[in-house]
Structure 1
Amino acid sequence: MAPIKRLLVAEWDGNAVYAGFITGVVEDVDKKTVTVTHKDIWWIWARRHILASRTNGAAAAPPITWNARTLATLANLIVAKGMDGDPADRYEMPVIMSADVVGTESRTYYGYKFVKVDKGLDDLIKTDGGPNIDFDTQWVGNEYFRWVMRSGALTQGMWEWDATAEKKEVYGLTFSTDAEGVTDKVFGAGEGSEASVLLRDADSYTGSAAPALERAESYSGISNLGELQSRVNADLNLHNDPTQQMSFRIPAYGVVRVSQLILGGTARVKTDGIRFLAAGWHDWQLIGYTFDREWITLQLQQTGG
């Protein structure tokens, strides 16, 4: 099985729909089964750092600074830096990224902070106007594999399901509304200590009759006030309304196959009889899915949620 040296790739209709690094193998001799554990490419990014040097001088090396880029481009640059190391064949990964785009954003990463690649990406995602990030799995010909990094407003893909039709392909539909995390006032603390800590806030009281719900968050690695304000704004936008989600199963060999699904795409669903959702067509964003040989289970969130 060669753990870590090999990928476990799931294929559907000739397309690679998932790839995970093998991290463990358990063989049960009596049951004649082999259980394989695996991790997707984000597991690698949690084990790489944004560094100018990967030697004893890493902490003292000049910081990495990128100016005048879009947030999506900064995400690409972070991943590229995570693949820049010696020996090159141990750091390089078959990841395809889009070209740099000029923008208004800047970031600086200090070696002594040892910021992990996944943490750098997560910070960008959670910034106001930040990108969605996905690594699409692809075969190249019949023998090579690669990831295509998608960074930005991921909206590719459109599928429709009529859950009210007599011959429907929608089963086990659930609809949920969660207001537990609703916040209408966010305090964000950046670098510093006690009274000298950097602080920015944002609120959404206008037009709301709900009681004030405050939350204080620590962004200890941020020393730029504009960057701190963007994080606070994004946090507020994400939590100032209840989250609505929908889930249902579709047949694995139905009209829509797992090979056609792509995260971020739009699922247009027609429903009726849901107590807290108006009947008719609604657009939802595909935020996740699981599948086996019989069923695909979709996780959807209201568009913009």
Structure 2
Amino acid sequence: MAGYKVYTVSTSTWGDRQLVDAKAAPWKRTFNESAGGLQATFKLSDPKVAAVARAGALTPVERCLVVEHDGVVLYAGIIWEDDYDDDARTLTVSHEDIWSLLALRLVAADRTGAIPAWKQTYSGLEYDTIVKRLMQLATTGAGRTLPIQYEADYSGGRSRTYYGYNLDTAIDAITEIANLPGGPDVDLRPEWATASSTLQWTLRTGNMNPDSKTIEVVVSADHAAVKGIKRKRSARERSTRIMGVGEGSGKDIKVRASTDPGPFELERIEQAKNVKNLTDLQDFADGKQYTRNMNITQYSMDLNILSPVIGNLWTLKPGAYLRWYTSGNPVIADGWKQHKIIEYSGDTASNWIHLELQ
């Protein structure tokens, strides 16, 4: 569709930008975790596409696929697999965002057989900066560098100790902090570096919408801009008791419980193997219970990417708000509602962007 372009860049330099014409290239963005695996299809019956593929622009691991719209990067993901169909003359590549690479990075300066003895303590910082330190630890060293832009350090009263014998990945360590009470949301936003045509990411922590970006739509009036409104309520993840399990084993294992009332008992176990302080473990259990003490209501809808409702795509990001008005709906209450955008996705073959709201 108009405005979309698909590129690949080298994972060695994050440059060598190559324009590739995709038959279809779905994309997805979220925060705090990977948005999941995706696939893009290329028609090699087109001589230009075939030439780009033969030149190595779609090689697994060596290339990263980038989707942009009007110069704004919407998605970037490492190509992990390709699948060629000779009869159809198509090449399908499987790719996933940068979180998939962090799942394969240990947070340890010593990554040899001596790793069990390695230990690192961060103290006197906010959780945001501990996440930053973990990211730096996971992306430092030969063959490990990623072009990430960071926020300033924030001092505070938080501390964390990491032990090599736990063999934590960057995903393990960052997710554990994000799930703590007061833990920050974490986003890795892909973008073009302003001084070059190379790809980079900006690590965003804490407030995902510091500029208070709000998209506003009147559902009954803006039929050209919005469609496909859905609501889902779920109690699948609800609990009335969380048992937080920390360091140790057998009778020496550290456990703390957090409870809330409910129609009946719903008990869950949550692991925090790096936590040995009982106060921190109680905070962990309380935080988990806080997010599970009620039913989850999610809304979703599609917005037209060309609609003035969205405006500048640079301001669309996980954590932005959608303010929307409905009336006369048999299930959804009349009036204005405001929800956080927790995920958005699209396809280069369509002008519609799908929003997940909470």
The answer for the alignment partner of 2:340 in structure 1 is 285
The answer for the alignment partner of 2:77 in structure 1 is 20
Shift of the alpha carbon at 1:168? 5.0
Q: Which range is displaced more, 172-181 or 188-197?
A: 188-197
The answer for the alignment partner of 2:131 in structure 1 is 75
Shift of the alpha carbon at 1:240? 0.5
Shift of the alpha carbon at 1:276? 4.4
Shift of the alpha carbon at 1:184? 2.2
The answer for the alignment partner of 2:152 in structure 1 is 99
Following TM superposition, the consecutive aligned residue runs of length 4 or more in structure 1 with deviations greater than 6 angstroms are none
> Which amino acid letter does the alignment assign opposite residue 285 of structure 2?
V
Aligned partner of 2:278 among 215, 225, 231: 225
Shift of the alpha carbon at 1:229? 1.4
Pairwise mapping of residues 26-175 of structure 1 onto structure 2 (< 5 A)? Answer: 26-61=83-118, 63-85=119-141, 87=142, 90-141=143-194, 142-156=196-210, 157-165=213-221, 167=223, 169-175=225-231
1:249 aligns with 2:302: yes
Pairwise mapping of residues 199-238 of structure 1 onto structure 2 (< 5 A)? Answer: 199-205=255-261, 210-238=263-291
Q: Which range is displaced more, 7-16 or 258-267?
A: 258-267
The answer for the alignment partner of 1:7 in structure 2 is 64
C-alpha change, 1:273 and 1:135, in structure 2 (3 Å) is same
Rounded to whole Å, the distance in 2 between the matches of 1:56 and 1:167 is: 61
Q: Could you say what the CA RMSD is over the residues aligned between the two structures, in angstroms? A: 1.8
| Structure 1: gaps of 5 or more residues | none
C-alpha change, 1:24 and 1:214, in structure 2 (3 Å) is closer
> Which amino acid letter does the alignment assign opposite residue 300 of structure 2?
S
> Is this contact kept in 1: 2:216–2:323, CA < 8 A?
yes
Structure 2 counterpart SS, 1:183 = coil
Rounded to whole Å, the distance in 2 between the matches of 1:112 and 1:151 is: 27
Q: Deviations over 1:95-142 (max 9, x none)?
A: 011111001110011111111001101001110111111111111235
Rounded to whole Å, the distance in 2 between the matches of 1:123 and 1:286 is: 22
Q: Which range is displaced more, 193-202 or 34-43?
A: 193-202
Aligned partner of 1:189 among 203, 222, 245: 245
C-alpha change, 1:166 and 1:64, in structure 2 (3 Å) is closer
Shift of the alpha carbon at 1:144? 1.6
Q: Which range is displaced more, 40-49 or 264-273?
A: 264-273
The answer for the alignment partner of 2:324 in structure 1 is 269
Structure 2 counterpart SS, 1:195 = helix
Q: Deviations over 1:223-269 (max 9, x none)?
A: 12122112111111111011010011112322216554100111111
> Is this contact kept in 1: 2:162–2:274, CA < 8 A?
no
Rounded to whole Å, the distance in 2 between the matches of 1:273 and 1:78 is: 49
> Is this contact kept in 2: 1:162–1:168, CA < 8 A?
no
C-alpha change, 1:101 and 1:275, in structure 2 (3 Å) is same
> Is this contact kept in 2: 1:186–1:202, CA < 8 A?
yes
> Is this contact kept in 2: 1:172–1:249, CA < 8 A?
yes
> Is this contact kept in 2: 1:190–1:198, CA < 8 A?
yes
**Aligned residue pairs: how many?**
294
> Which amino acid letter does the alignment assign opposite residue 145 of structure 1?
L
Rounded to whole Å, the distance in 2 between the matches of 1:213 and 1:37 is: 38
